[in-house]
Amino acid sequence: MTIVLYDLAGAEEDRRFSPYCWRTRMALAHKGLPVETVAWRFTDKQAIAFSGQGRVPVIVDKGKTVFDSWSIAEYLEDAYPDRPSLFGGSDEKPLTRFYSCLADTLVGGIFRFIALDILNHLHDKDRTYFRKSREERVGATLESYVADRDARLTSLRDSLTPLRLTLKMQRYLGGDRPLYADYALFGPFQWARCISPFALLARDDPIALWRDRLLDSFGGLARSSPGYDGPSS
C-alpha cells in the first residue's frame, strides 16, 4: 500500500524544499517503500488538520497518521522491521537522535543565509504568512537577517568541521552506506540547494562530495528535485 506524504512545495509544485520532509523522503526510499507525495503550502493548514497540528512532514500509512520527521523515522523502523534499518540497529537509535537534533540546529544556522531566497521561491499565497511569522521569530526583517551572509560564511563552514573531518575518513556517517543520521543532516543542505543559489559549501569540501553522493542515491531522487547545482566557490 502506498504511503502518502504531505510535502512542502514552493511556487512550482515540484519544488519540494523542506529539510524535514527530505529526511522522510530519503527514509522512505531507504526502506524501499512506495510513496505518493501531496504538494503542501504553509497556508494549507486545513489540508493537514486531520493530523492535529500544522507542520509537515505528515504521513498516512494504512490509515495511520504520523507527523514529525523523527516520529516518522521511528514509526517506519518499527512498522517495517524486515526492510533495511534506518538506524543501523536498535542500539544506534539513541545516537541517531543526536544527529537529528544536530541537524535541527543546522536548520537554524542555515536559515540566516537563505531566509530571503525561501521567500522568493514561495507560492504567492504563502508569502505574507512566511514573512510575518519568520520576521516575528527572528526579530528582524528577512532582508536585514541575511544581509551580512558573505561575512558569516567562514564561521558557518568552520562550525561544520566535525562533520567534514568525519566525511574525509568515511563515505557516510553510517560508514560505507547511508543511514538516517545521513538523511537528517542531508535535509538542511538539500533545503538550501532547492531554494538558494548561495554556495554554502566549497565544491571540494568533503561535505559537498557527501551531499553529491546522497543527491545521486536512490536513482537521483533528491537531485531530480529542482534546485541550484551550479559550481560553488
Chain residues in the site for ligand GSH (CB under 6 A):
8, 18-20, 42, 54-57, 68-70, 133
HSE value, Cβ hemisphere, 13 Å, CA-based, for 63: 0
- Least Cβ distance, residue 231 to ligand GSH (angstroms): 27
When the beta carbons of 187 and 206 are compared against ligand GSH, the nearer one is: 187
CB of 212 to ligand GSH, least distance (A): 23
Where helices occur in 51-205 by DSSP H, the ranges are 69-79, 93-121, 124-138, 142-146, 149-159, 161-169, 180-195
Torsions phi, psi for 175 (to 5 deg): 105, -115
* Set of cell numbers at residue 2: 502506498
Smallest gap from Cβ 57 to ligand GSH, in A, equals 6
Question: What cell numbers appear for 213 in the block?
Answer: 553522493
Least CB distance from residue 21 to ligand GSH, whole Å? 7
Q: 204: burial class by Cβ within 10 Å (0-12, 13-18, 19+)? A: exposed
Nearer to ligand GSH, 66 or 205 (CB): 66
Nearer to ligand GSH, 56 or 106 (CB): 56
HSE (side-chain half, CA atoms, 13 Å) at 65: 11
Which residues, 6+ apart, have CB-to-CB distance to 108 below 8 Å? Answer: none
Q: Give min distance, CB of 169 to ligand GSH, in A.
A: 28
Tell how strand 3-8 and strand 35-40 pair up: parallel
- Nearer to ligand GSH by Cβ, of 126 and 205: the residue is 126
Q: Which three cell numbers stand for residue 153?
A: 560564511
Q: Give min distance, CB of 148 to ligand GSH, in A.
A: 24
For residues 55 and 211, which CB has a smaller minimum distance to ligand GSH in the complex?
A: 55
For residues 57 and 227, which CB has a smaller minimum distance to ligand GSH in the complex? 57
Record the cell numbers describing residue 45, joined without a space: 493548514
- The closest residue (CB) to ligand GSH is 55
